[in-house]
A and B are shown apart, each in its own frame.
Chain A
Amino acid sequence: MTPNFVILCAAGMLVTAYLMVGQKSLFTTIRLYGVQSLLLATVAVVMAISDNRPHLFVMVTMTTVLKGFVIPLFLMRVVDRVGIHREIEPFLNVPASLLACLGLTVVGYRVSTGFPEGTIGVTHHVLGVGLSTMLIGLFLMVTRKKAITQILALLTVENAIFLIALGITSGMPLVVELGIFFDVILAVLVLGVLVRRIVDRFESMDVSRLSKLKG
């Protein structure tokens, strides 16, 4: 039952990534990111218990508190202050985007078969899902115009990397993991500050308007 549950949660993360691609309301996208982080934490909990890796619980706590609640709330506050709630028409429309993401998922699964653990069982699915989610995050980053969506895309990539780390290793050393968390939080704070400044200046958070610097 446990392996199936892990696969279910990991697949849930992939589903949230797809939903983010199809979503235009910024609030919903932020909530989807929160759900995705909680699913990541669940994967980590199950792995910590079934494989007896107690040090994963630190990561679980941090993921739940920071990525599940603090970062989404912070981003929602930024959106609220800015007063812009919807993503405008992306560079690529939604059906085409979803089709492209389907292709990326196939690529992600194909790559995951090359790993020593990748040919069988749970790890194969976790790796496949992780790589696909990462590719979808990258895709989201290049096709969206709103600053907040770009931050969320970046955070999705980062979640996917953590999922890959869970699947392929027995968790990174604790000090390093804490350092990474600290850096991610700092990056989100700095990005939030920048978004506020950009909105103050340009009265929009459409980053495709940031196009003065060329050559």
Chain B
Amino acid sequence: MTLLIWTLLVPLLTAALGAIRAPRKVEELVIVGGLSVTFLLCLATAGQFLSGVIPAAFNDTLRVDGLSALVLVLCGFVGLLSSTYGVGYMRRNDARGLVTPRMRQEFSVLTPAYVFAMLLVAVSNNLGILWIAVELTTLTSVFFVAFHNRDTSLEAAWKFLMLGSLGLGFALLGTVLLFASAQGALGEDLSALHWTRFMAEASRLHPFTLRLGVVFLLIGYGTKAGLAPMHTWKPDAYREAPSPAGVMMAVGMLNAALYCLLRVHLISKAALGAEFSGTLLLALGLLSVLVAVPFILIQWNLKRLLAYSSIEHVGIMAVGIGLSADAAVYGALLHMTYHTFAKPVAFFSAGTLAQLHRSSNFAEIGPGTLARAPISSALLLLAALFVTGSPPFSLFFSEMMILRAGFSGPYVMATAAFLLALVVLFCGFVYQIGGLVLGQRPADRKTHADPESWDWGLVVTLIAAALAVVSTFYLPGTLVSLIRAAADVVSGGR
């Protein structure tokens, strides 16, 4: 058994163990322990790749190159972080009598299962298996969205599953068309859908069929990534999902879906040149950033605000990839890494505030949370500075990198619109969070805030914040070489 197979097997086993009903402490230990081991295995697999051996299994159906290794490590990290926070989240709800044994069991099965599906996306070299893995992430996350079983969560789950399935239907059609564009040159067995073989045969693919396939694939996986105009499921789903699951969707799934888009983009680039899919990604990305602007300005709910911020960020990454310049691609991948560190802080602190006030609506929470829950509020403010890309924090640098590449390339007008939208988004987001955290709550409006206490969830939030701050000033050498390797794959198609 190779390292790679163990990396996938451990979360799957953790999910199986989670299905067994056990005392709370044991369940918590299983989920956190299992996902810690998973994260270590992800690191080991990435290490193996960096040392020059390409980890592969099942006749190259699973294969790790630079891009896979980066996404693998980031997804493993997010899985560990959100399951650890999830333990605290469930304890809090437990203390208020909101958690049934079935809910806890559901949580400890779904979390590792979701991590498994994301890791499978990251390492699969086969476009068919890739599709199946993405569908698996959808099916597991729909239970997270419906987790609290309220009217609104059912509505969100329904919309999420319908839109997600439709998107995946498009992606399936795209995969079929891509397969057809090879006109039988790749054979009929499983290896015919290997990404590496498509890259090798790129010049012989039939252009019309390929173009149609690429469009369907970009729309399909774009739906999963939450690119506008297929983003409408996102605010609903993020609001209804428990905040640890929200992080996995907003960071893990976003990275995984972006990874799918990149794979498609690379095939299209090798066969048709960077222009075709690059322009499409640029347009979708720019649209996402622009769509986020009005909704952030008029937002009334904290978690929906974060969802629009996530739409903005996937837009930024898509723009970076779409610009196709080497520097922009590197910027986009760096942005993905920094975003993975920064977003959990926002979700965790917002989740804590929402739990303390038993609602995520601005009207119920704010203003003046700083007086009621000082630590979470301060962390939320910090996270707001991070995700809006304000200097001196990390996301500022990656955004600057993309912007510089944009202004020195052929898409100056698009980049200018992009920059303008980013500035407005910065103001809007900081205004919203500032209004929530600072100020004083009018005396005539009652609050039902529980006091903030030093529990597990708060500690994890603090650790996540520390990691985000450290990542701004210092990225470990291994991570930097992983980002370089990933950028090499995207720029050179190696």
Which listed residue, B169, B239, B300, touches A161 by the CB 8 Å rule? B169
**Are B300 and A187 in contact, with the CB atoms below 8 A?**
no
Give the most central of A157, A158, A213: most B CB within 10 Å: A213
Residues from chain A with a CB closer than 8 A to the CB of B236 are: 213
Which listed residue, B128, B149, B301, touches A197 by the CB 8 Å rule? B149
The smallest C-beta distance from A70 to any residue of chain B, in angstroms, reads 18
CB contacts under 8 Å to B, within A10-54, are: none
Say if the beta carbon of A80 comes within 8 Å of chain B.
Answer: no
**Are A179 and B132 in contact, with the CB atoms below 8 A?**
yes
Say if the beta carbon of A186 comes within 8 Å of chain B.
Answer: yes
Interface size of B in residues (CB-CB distance below 8 Å): 51
The smallest C-beta distance from B426 to any residue of chain A, in angstroms, reads 21
Say if the beta carbon of A64 comes within 8 Å of chain B.
Answer: no
**Are A187 and B188 in contact, with the CB atoms below 8 A?**
no
Indicate with 1 or 0, residue by residue over B173-204, a CB within 8 angstroms of chain A CB atoms.
10011011001100011101100000000000
The smallest C-beta distance from B118 to any residue of chain A, in angstroms, reads 16
Q: A183-B136, A194-B146, A207-B158 are in contact. Are A116 and B151 (CB under 8 A)?
A: no
The smallest C-beta distance from A196 to any residue of chain B, in angstroms, reads 10
Residues from chain B with a CB closer than 8 A to the CB of A165 are: 176, 179-180
**Are A164 and B190 in contact, with the CB atoms below 8 A?**
no
**Are B132 and A157 in contact, with the CB atoms below 8 A?**
no
The smallest C-beta distance from B297 to any residue of chain A, in angstroms, reads 11
**Are A168 and B158 in contact, with the CB atoms below 8 A?**
no
Residues from chain A with a CB closer than 8 A to the CB of B209 are: 114-116, 168
The smallest C-beta distance from B360 to any residue of chain A, in angstroms, reads 12
Which chain A residue shows the least CB distance to B183?
A: A116
**Are A169 and B154 in contact, with the CB atoms below 8 A?**
no
Interface size of A in residues (CB-CB distance below 8 Å): 44
Say if the beta carbon of B372 comes within 8 Å of chain A.
Answer: no
* The stretch of B160-168, B325-333, B375-383 that contacts the partner chain: B160-168
The smallest C-beta distance from A175 to any residue of chain B, in angstroms, reads 5
CB contacts under 8 Å to B, within A148-203, are: 150, 154, 157-158, 161, 164-165, 168-176, 179-180, 182-183, 186-187, 190-191, 194, 197-198, 201-202
**Are B161 and A191 in contact, with the CB atoms below 8 A?**
yes
A186-B132 Cα distance, complex, nearest whole Å:
12
Interface residue SS majority, chain A? helix
**Are B183 and A183 in contact, with the CB atoms below 8 A?**
no
Indicate with 1 or 0, residue by residue over B279-305, a CB within 8 angstroms of chain A CB atoms.
000000000000000010011110010
A173-B178 Cα distance, complex, nearest whole Å:
13
Which listed residue, B151, B156, B158, B172, touches A180 by the CB 8 Å rule? B172
CB contacts under 8 Å to A, within B206-225, are: 206, 208-209, 212
Residues from chain A with a CB closer than 8 A to the CB of B162 are: 141, 150, 154
Which chain B residue shows the least CB distance to A169?
A: B180
CB contacts under 8 Å to B, within A47-95, are: 55
A189-B461 Cα distance, complex, nearest whole Å:
36
**Are B155 and A210 in contact, with the CB atoms below 8 A?**
yes
Which chain A residue shows the least CB distance to B192?
A: A173
Which listed residue, B139, B189, B212, B235, touches A183 by the CB 8 Å rule? B139
Q: What are 20 A-B interface contacts by the 8 Å CB criterion?
A: A114-B208, A114-B209, A115-B180, A115-B208, A158-B169, A161-B172, A172-B128, A172-B193, A175-B190, A176-B128, A179-B132, A180-B131, A194-B154, A194-B161, A210-B159, A212-B151, A213-B235, A213-B236, A215-B235, A215-B301
Extra 18 A-B pairs, beta carbons < 8 Å, given A154-B166, A158-B172, A175-B128? A111-B212, A116-B208, A141-B166, A161-B172, A168-B180, A170-B188, A172-B176, A176-B190, A179-B128, A190-B142, A197-B149, A197-B154, A201-B151, A201-B154, A213-B155, A213-B156, A215-B298, A215-B301
The 8 closest A-B pairs by CB, nearest first: A176-B128, A210-B155, A179-B132, A168-B180, A183-B135, A165-B176, A213-B236, A173-B190
Q: Which residues of B contact A (CB under 8 A)?
A: 126, 128-129, 131-132, 135-136, 139, 142-143, 146, 149, 151-152, 154-159, 161-162, 165-166, 169, 172-173, 176-177, 179-180, 183-184, 188-190, 192-193, 206, 208-209, 212, 235-236, 239, 295, 298-301, 304
Q: Which residues of A contact B (CB under 8 A)?
A: 55, 111, 114-116, 134, 138, 141, 147, 150, 154, 157-158, 161, 164-165, 168-176, 179-180, 182-183, 186-187, 190-191, 194, 197-198, 201-202, 207, 210-213, 215
